[in-house]
Structure 1
Amino acid sequence: MTSQPVFIQVGALAEGFAPDSHILPPVDDLTGRTLQLEFVDGPKEALTFVSADLVRTTNGQFECRITSVRDGIYFVDYIGGGDGSRPAATSYVLDVKQGLCTSVVGTLPNESEARTDAFTRVERGLELTGVQAQFRHGRIVQQGAQAGTQGALHHPTRELIGMRNLYTYSATEQYEHVYLNDNFYAWQCLAGVEAGLADVDRCHYIAIAKDLYLFVWREKIIPTLGVVMIDLERKKTDGKIFGYQGNQFDTLSNFPVGALAQVLNVTRHPQ
């Protein structure tokens, strides 16, 4: 009989993903530039890239990670943001050629919220996960004029739904995703520190460009936020996973992830 697989904290997950991972190297393309972001809803933001790993925003200065999964499109990520009431991390997708931007501010539940059982959450009319994500879409303004075209903003998409994809994060870590519907996806760990684990979690799909998506998931058992760019053209992903380091709720983990992607099959249900 095989042993029962056990869910682990995000900090332990980070340790498993770290060796020889397929993350993208940081880029310094944006160093010295200031981008003005105008969102459809919410206040404007200014991002000044002090260096390849330091960004200044309207809310402060943060150590960040900047990568580019496709030419001219950048993923910027750091711990911070939100209203200060919960631990938060912020991610931006910046398409400087098309002049389009998306921000994702993710927050983690506090200890009391995280320890509230699923039945109680259902009784209270709450989502099963206490992890939250706020999305904003807009345009990039550079030197007093909007960059690029006046094309459609980044937006929710159903293009991934029905796909069954294989993601190889390193020589030891491999996962399968099945994108079920507009709100949920199923995952299982085929190899690695979570081998044998599987679940269905809340998720969001955002279209960025042709065959390029922002995929965000919010796990309910271990408070976890994943924010990942999926490029099906290059068959590559890059992003991050955010959560608590351990079970004391006093230290955060926000670690990079990247994988080689393969579409295994696509299921289309009859109307």
Structure 2
Amino acid sequence: MASTPIVDYVPEDEWPAVSTMLEGLGEQALVASPSLAGSSIVLLDENGSTTEHMFQTATTLHWKSDAAQGATTGTATYKAIEAREGIFIVDFVVGDGIEARNSTFVHNTTTDVTTSGFSTFVTGEDKVRGERISSMPPHPNAPAHPRSSELVGRRIYYRYSDSEAYEHIYLTPGAFTWHCVRGGEQGMADTERCMTFDVAEDLYLFFWTEKVMTVEAVLLVDLREKRSIGHMFGWEDSSHEPVVLPFNSRLSILNTTTYPHDHNKH
């Protein structure tokens, strides 16, 4: 019986560059969809400003914001993947270098519910860090995907390619542990801040921010279809440029942990 080689603790100063994973993650198996062309999505940000995203073609969108400061209009190249019928994950990048900003939407055309997140870079302590900004529905009474705890307790194995495999252990609604079982980060592991949203039955939008590497990541985890799809938005220190790593995986639920009934007793 073959076993996975044991790799000892890897100190942070020996971790590879973000781009190390680029080749190993492979191509996304689900192709881009043109179905959003001709439609639009309006989102409200935390400052109360609204931004309309108009999908002009299968790959180009125009956005227009009523924000008091900053750019108010622009064009971007986007990618939309139909993860399930009528449910799309959309991502695009606006800006260059340290000013780059990644936007990700999950949009349900049947219910007209959208959840999105925006990743930016900030500088501090001589290092570029990732930062996530959440958006809200276009008005306070609009339907929204709720925060979820459905992944908590699960241990899931993700096969990104023949050479890359990771496991996730979901600890709480706001924290999870990742571990590279096979690939460029083999033996590396950490516990990160995260957020999960219910999108549909057994379908979850999962965000996380890494502490050591400058990485913001988004996964649409589909337990029904046993797959995930998403990307990482990171900063490459050697080139001083943002890096986008699209990926997907086939997944297996290894186990689900439940605590004994007496776990609250002292």
TM-score band (shorter)?
0.7 to 0.9
| Letter aligned with residue 11 of structure 1 | S
Task: Tell me which of 222, 235, 242 is aligned to 1:252.
Answer: 242
Conservation of the 8 A alpha-carbon contact between 2:220 and 2:228: yes
Partner of 1:219 in structure 2?
210
Superposed displacement of residue 249, structure 1: 5.9
Distance in structure 2 (CA, Å) of the matches to 1:90 and 1:229: 14
The SS at the match of 1:131 is: strand
- 2: CA distance, partners of 1:164 / 1:44: 38
The correspondence for 2:83, drawn from 58, 65, 69, is: 69
Q: What is the TM-score of this pair, normalised by structure 1?
A: 0.81
Residue of structure 2 equivalent to 1:27: 33
Q: What do you get for the CA RMSD once the two structures are aligned?
A: 2.6
Does the residue aligned with 1:242 lie in a helix, a strand or coil? strand
What is the distance in 2 between the residues matched to 1:10 and 1:258? Answer: 17
In 2, Cα distance between equivalents of 1:111 and 1:158: 32
TM superposition shift of 1:41: 6.8
Q: Cα offset for 1:205? A: 0.8
Residues in 1 aligned to 2:92 and 2:82: alpha-carbon distance in whole angstroms: 15
Partners of 1:248 and 1:165 in 2: how far apart? 32
Distance in 1 between residues matched to 2:120 and 2:29, nearest whole Å: 23
Question: Structure 2: where are the runs of 5+ without partners?
Answer: 1-5, 65-72
> Post-superposition shift, 1:139?
5.6
Q: C-alpha offsets along residues 18-39 of structure 1, whole Å, 9 cap, x if unaligned? A: 3xx4542111111222334467
- Which whole-Å CA distance do the structure 1 matches of 2:32 and 2:256 have between them? 32
Equivalence for 1:202: 193
* Residues 112/53 of structure 1: CA separation in 2 closer, same or farther (3 Å cut): farther
Instruction: Label 1:53 to 1:113 Cα distance change in 2 as closer, same or farther (>3 A).
Output: farther
**In 1, Cα distance between equivalents of 2:77 and 2:115:** 19
Q: Which residue of 2 aligns with 1:135?
A: 134
1:98 to 99, 111, 115: 111
* 3-state DSSP of counterpart to 2:20: helix
- Measured after TM superposition, the shift of residue 256 of structure 1 is 0.8
Q: Which amino acid aligns with 1:27?
A: S
Q: Is the CA contact 2:170–2:176 (under 8 Å) kept in the aligned structure 1? A: yes
Structure ranking higher on relative contact order (CA contacts 8 Å, 6+ apart): 1
Residues 140-219 of structure 1: matches in 2 within 5 Å? 152-219=143-210
Can you give the 5+ residue segments of structure 1 that lack an aligned partner in the other structure?
116-129, 141-149
Q: What secondary structure does 2:144 align onto?
A: coil
Distance between the aligned counterparts of 2:16 and 2:191, measured in 1? 16
| Structure 1 residues 45-97: Cα deviation after superposition (integer angstroms, max 9, x where no partner) | 2221122222111131111111111110111101127xx98432111111110
Aligned equivalents of 2:225 and 2:167: distance in 1? 18
Q: Does the 8 Å CA contact 2:193/2:209 hold for their aligned counterparts?
A: yes
Task: Tell me the amino acid that sits aligned with residue 225 of structure 1.
Answer: E
CA 1:132/1:40 → structure 2, altered by over 3 Å: closer, same or farther? Answer: closer
Structure 1 range deviating more: 52-61 or 165-174: 52-61
**1:9 equivalent in structure 2:** 17
Asked whether the 8 Å contact 2:137–2:143 carries over to 1, the reply is no
Q: Following superposition of structure 1 onto structure 2, how do residues 103-122 of structure 1 map, counting pairs within 5 Å?
A: 103-110=116-123, 112=125, 114=127
CA distance in 2, matches of 1:171, 1:2: 19
Amino acid at match of 2:53: L
**Aligned match of 1:262:** 252
- Between the two proteins, what is the percent identity of the paired residues? 27
Q: What is the alpha-carbon distance in structure 1 between the residues aligned to residue 50 and residue 186 of structure 2?
A: 43
Residues paired across the two proteins, number = 243
Q: CA deviation at 1:12?
A: 2.0
Q: Please tell me the residue identity of whatever aligns with 1:266.
A: T
Whole-Å Cα distance in 1 between the matches of residues 172 and 8 of structure 2? 32
